[in-house]
Amino acid sequence: MRILDEYTDLINASFSQWIEVEDNLSRWTIEDFPYSTGVDENITYPHCWKCVTVNHCWFKNEENKKPARFDYSNTSFSQTPLSKRGLYHPHCHCKESAINNPKIEDIEIIMPEGKIDWIYKDKYKLINSWGYNEKDRRILTENIIYSSKIAYHSGNYQILRHTKSGINISLFIEIPGINEKLGHIYKRVSSYMIFPNGKLKNNTPISRRWE
Protein backbone atom coordinates (compact mmCIF):
# COMPACT_ATOMS: atom_id res chain seq x y z
CA MET A 1 0.00 0.00 0.00
CA ARG A 2 2.84 2.41 0.82
CA ILE A 3 4.38 1.87 -2.64
CA LEU A 4 0.99 2.53 -4.26
CA ASP A 5 0.65 5.73 -2.23
CA GLU A 6 4.10 6.86 -3.34
CA TYR A 7 3.24 6.35 -7.00
CA THR A 8 -0.07 8.19 -6.50
CA ASP A 9 1.81 11.13 -4.97
CA LEU A 10 4.29 11.07 -7.85
CA ILE A 11 1.51 11.16 -10.45
CA ASN A 12 -0.34 13.95 -8.64
CA ALA A 13 2.85 16.00 -8.38
CA SER A 14 3.66 15.57 -12.07
CA PHE A 15 0.35 17.23 -13.03
CA SER A 16 0.34 19.90 -10.34
CA GLN A 17 1.27 23.50 -11.17
CA TRP A 18 3.08 23.85 -7.83
CA ILE A 19 4.98 21.31 -5.74
CA GLU A 20 6.52 21.17 -2.29
CA VAL A 21 9.73 19.20 -1.79
CA GLU A 22 9.56 17.09 1.34
CA ASP A 23 12.01 14.83 3.13
CA ASN A 24 9.91 13.30 5.88
CA LEU A 25 12.99 11.65 7.42
CA SER A 26 14.75 14.96 8.01
CA ARG A 27 13.90 17.75 10.46
CA TRP A 28 16.44 20.12 8.92
CA THR A 29 15.66 23.06 6.62
CA ILE A 30 17.69 25.98 5.30
CA GLU A 31 16.23 28.14 8.08
CA ASP A 32 18.39 26.25 10.58
CA PHE A 33 21.64 27.62 9.11
CA PRO A 34 23.10 31.10 8.49
CA TYR A 35 23.51 32.27 4.91
CA SER A 36 27.21 32.92 5.47
CA THR A 37 28.03 29.25 6.08
CA GLY A 38 25.10 27.40 4.56
CA VAL A 39 24.16 23.87 5.55
CA ASP A 40 26.63 22.12 7.86
CA GLU A 41 26.59 18.48 6.80
CA ASN A 42 28.41 17.48 9.99
CA ILE A 43 25.19 18.42 11.77
CA THR A 44 22.65 17.19 9.21
CA TYR A 45 24.32 13.85 8.36
CA PRO A 46 23.09 11.61 6.75
CA HIS A 47 21.06 14.34 5.06
CA CYS A 48 23.05 16.24 2.43
CA TRP A 49 23.01 20.00 1.86
CA LYS A 50 21.18 19.67 -1.44
CA CYS A 51 18.17 18.04 0.23
CA VAL A 52 18.21 20.22 3.36
CA THR A 53 18.19 23.43 1.33
CA VAL A 54 14.95 22.52 -0.45
CA ASN A 55 13.11 20.71 2.34
CA HIS A 56 9.53 22.04 2.63
CA CYS A 57 10.13 24.68 -0.04
CA TRP A 58 7.55 25.53 -2.72
CA PHE A 59 8.34 25.60 -6.44
CA LYS A 60 6.50 26.20 -9.70
CA ASN A 61 6.45 22.81 -11.38
CA GLU A 62 8.50 23.87 -14.41
CA GLU A 63 12.06 23.53 -15.65
CA ASN A 64 14.43 26.15 -14.19
CA LYS A 65 11.87 26.93 -11.49
CA LYS A 66 12.43 23.88 -9.32
CA PRO A 67 15.59 21.97 -8.27
CA ALA A 68 17.24 20.00 -11.06
CA ARG A 69 16.89 16.24 -10.72
CA PHE A 70 19.85 13.88 -10.69
CA ASP A 71 20.83 12.68 -14.18
CA TYR A 72 20.73 8.88 -14.32
CA SER A 73 21.11 8.69 -18.10
CA ASN A 74 24.62 7.24 -17.86
CA THR A 75 23.82 4.94 -14.94
CA SER A 76 22.69 1.36 -15.49
CA PHE A 77 19.93 -0.24 -13.43
CA SER A 78 22.44 -2.78 -12.18
CA GLN A 79 24.49 0.09 -10.77
CA THR A 80 21.51 1.95 -9.32
CA PRO A 81 18.17 0.11 -9.26
CA LEU A 82 14.98 2.04 -9.91
CA SER A 83 14.02 1.82 -6.23
CA LYS A 84 17.23 3.66 -5.27
CA ARG A 85 16.96 6.47 -7.83
CA GLY A 86 16.09 9.43 -5.68
CA LEU A 87 15.28 12.94 -6.90
CA TYR A 88 18.62 14.62 -6.28
CA HIS A 89 21.00 11.69 -5.76
CA PRO A 90 20.87 7.90 -5.29
CA HIS A 91 19.08 6.92 -2.07
CA CYS A 92 17.59 10.43 -1.78
CA HIS A 93 14.45 10.54 0.40
CA CYS A 94 13.01 13.77 -1.05
CA LYS A 95 9.61 13.69 -2.74
CA GLU A 96 7.72 16.21 -4.84
CA SER A 97 4.22 16.65 -3.40
CA ALA A 98 1.39 18.44 -5.18
CA ILE A 99 0.18 21.60 -3.45
CA ASN A 100 -2.51 24.15 -4.22
CA ASN A 101 -1.39 27.22 -6.12
CA PRO A 102 -0.12 29.65 -3.47
CA LYS A 103 -2.33 32.63 -2.70
CA ILE A 104 -0.83 36.08 -2.29
CA GLU A 105 -1.54 35.94 1.43
CA ASP A 106 0.27 32.58 1.73
CA ILE A 107 3.58 34.17 0.70
CA GLU A 108 5.82 35.83 3.28
CA ILE A 109 8.64 38.20 2.32
CA ILE A 110 11.60 38.46 4.70
CA MET A 111 13.25 41.84 4.15
CA PRO A 112 16.39 41.94 6.33
CA GLU A 113 17.23 45.15 8.13
CA GLY A 114 19.32 47.52 6.04
CA LYS A 115 18.11 46.43 2.59
CA ILE A 116 15.99 49.53 2.03
CA ASP A 117 18.77 51.71 3.47
CA TRP A 118 21.05 50.21 0.82
CA ILE A 119 18.60 51.24 -1.92
CA TYR A 120 18.52 54.82 -0.68
CA LYS A 121 22.31 54.89 -0.44
CA ASP A 122 23.31 53.17 -3.70
CA LYS A 123 20.20 53.45 -5.91
CA TYR A 124 18.73 56.80 -4.90
CA LYS A 125 19.04 58.41 -8.33
CA LEU A 126 17.29 55.41 -9.85
CA ILE A 127 14.33 55.30 -7.47
CA ASN A 128 14.08 59.09 -7.53
CA SER A 129 13.59 58.81 -11.29
CA TRP A 130 10.58 56.58 -10.44
CA GLY A 131 9.08 59.35 -8.28
CA TYR A 132 10.28 58.12 -4.86
CA ASN A 133 11.78 60.53 -2.33
CA GLU A 134 13.19 60.07 1.17
CA LYS A 135 9.71 60.38 2.67
CA ASP A 136 8.48 57.50 0.49
CA ARG A 137 10.51 54.71 2.16
CA ARG A 138 7.46 52.94 3.52
CA ILE A 139 5.65 53.07 0.18
CA LEU A 140 8.72 51.78 -1.71
CA THR A 141 9.17 48.95 0.78
CA GLU A 142 5.52 47.95 0.53
CA ASN A 143 5.62 48.10 -3.28
CA ILE A 144 8.74 45.91 -3.49
CA ILE A 145 7.25 43.37 -1.08
CA TYR A 146 3.87 43.25 -2.82
CA SER A 147 5.43 43.11 -6.30
CA SER A 148 7.63 40.24 -5.12
CA LYS A 149 4.62 38.32 -3.83
CA ILE A 150 2.82 38.84 -7.14
CA ALA A 151 5.83 37.65 -9.16
CA TYR A 152 6.39 34.52 -7.07
CA HIS A 153 2.66 33.75 -7.03
CA SER A 154 2.71 33.99 -10.85
CA GLY A 155 5.83 31.81 -11.13
CA ASN A 156 7.66 34.75 -12.67
CA TYR A 157 11.14 33.72 -11.54
CA GLN A 158 14.14 31.60 -12.49
CA ILE A 159 16.58 29.65 -10.36
CA LEU A 160 19.93 31.39 -10.47
CA ARG A 161 21.96 28.91 -8.43
CA HIS A 162 21.59 26.08 -5.94
CA THR A 163 24.31 25.97 -3.28
CA LYS A 164 24.61 24.90 0.34
CA SER A 165 23.26 28.37 1.23
CA GLY A 166 19.98 27.57 -0.53
CA ILE A 167 18.08 28.15 -3.75
CA ASN A 168 18.81 31.63 -5.08
CA ILE A 169 16.22 32.95 -7.53
CA SER A 170 15.88 35.95 -9.82
CA LEU A 171 12.37 37.27 -9.28
CA PHE A 172 10.99 39.49 -12.05
CA ILE A 173 9.08 42.26 -10.31
CA GLU A 174 7.21 45.33 -11.53
CA ILE A 175 7.48 48.43 -9.33
CA PRO A 176 4.91 51.20 -9.86
CA GLY A 177 6.04 54.77 -10.12
CA ILE A 178 4.56 57.36 -7.76
CA ASN A 179 4.13 61.14 -7.53
CA GLU A 180 5.07 62.64 -10.91
CA LYS A 181 5.75 59.09 -12.30
CA LEU A 182 2.36 57.71 -11.30
CA GLY A 183 1.11 55.29 -13.97
CA HIS A 184 4.60 54.15 -15.00
CA ILE A 185 5.84 50.60 -14.33
CA TYR A 186 9.52 49.77 -13.79
CA LYS A 187 10.67 46.20 -14.40
CA ARG A 188 13.53 45.06 -12.21
CA VAL A 189 15.07 41.81 -11.00
CA SER A 190 14.95 41.20 -7.26
CA SER A 191 17.15 38.45 -5.78
CA TYR A 192 15.75 36.07 -3.14
CA MET A 193 16.46 32.81 -1.34
CA ILE A 194 13.54 30.37 -1.25
CA PHE A 195 12.70 29.40 2.32
CA PRO A 196 10.23 26.78 3.59
CA ASN A 197 6.47 27.13 3.53
CA GLY A 198 6.11 30.03 1.12
CA LYS A 199 8.78 32.32 2.54
CA LEU A 200 11.27 34.31 0.47
CA LYS A 201 14.31 36.00 2.03
CA ASN A 202 15.58 39.02 0.14
CA ASN A 203 19.20 39.30 -0.99
CA THR A 204 19.07 42.29 -3.33
CA PRO A 205 15.83 44.34 -3.53
CA ILE A 206 16.42 45.81 -7.00
CA SER A 207 19.06 45.15 -9.63
CA ARG A 208 19.06 44.92 -13.44
CA ARG A 209 16.14 45.55 -15.76
CA TRP A 210 14.24 42.75 -17.40
CA GLU A 211 12.06 42.72 -20.51
pLDDT tens profile 7-42: 455 555 667 899 999 999 999 999 999 999 999 999
Q: How far separated are the first and last CA of the chain, in Å rounded? A: 49
What percent of the chain is helix, strand and coil (3-state, nearest 5)? 35, 25, 40
* 61: amino acid identity, one letter: N
pTM for the complete prediction? 0.90
Evaluate whether 56 touches 20 at the Cβ level (below 8 Å): yes
Determine the average pLDDT of the residues in 149-159: 98
Q: What is the mean pLDDT of residues 138-164?
A: 98
Judged against a pLDDT cut of 90, whether residue 1 lies above it is answered with: no
- 9 with 95: CB under 8 angstroms? yes
Percent of the chain with pLDDT over 90: 91
85 residue type, one letter: R
DSSP annotation string for 105-172? GG-EEE--TTHHHHHHHHSHHHHHTTT--GGGHHHHHHHHHHHHHHHHHTT-EEEEEEETTEEEEEEE
β-strand pairing of 185-195 with 199-204: antiparallel
- Report the pLDDT value the prediction gives residue 15, as an integer from 0 to 100: 72
Q: Is the pLDDT reported for residue 6 higher than 70? A: no
How many percent of the chain have pLDDT more than 70?
A: 93
Q: Is the peptide bond before 46 cis (omega within 30 degrees of 0)?
A: yes
> 3 exposed, middle or buried (CB, 10 Å; 0-12, 13-18, 19+)?
exposed
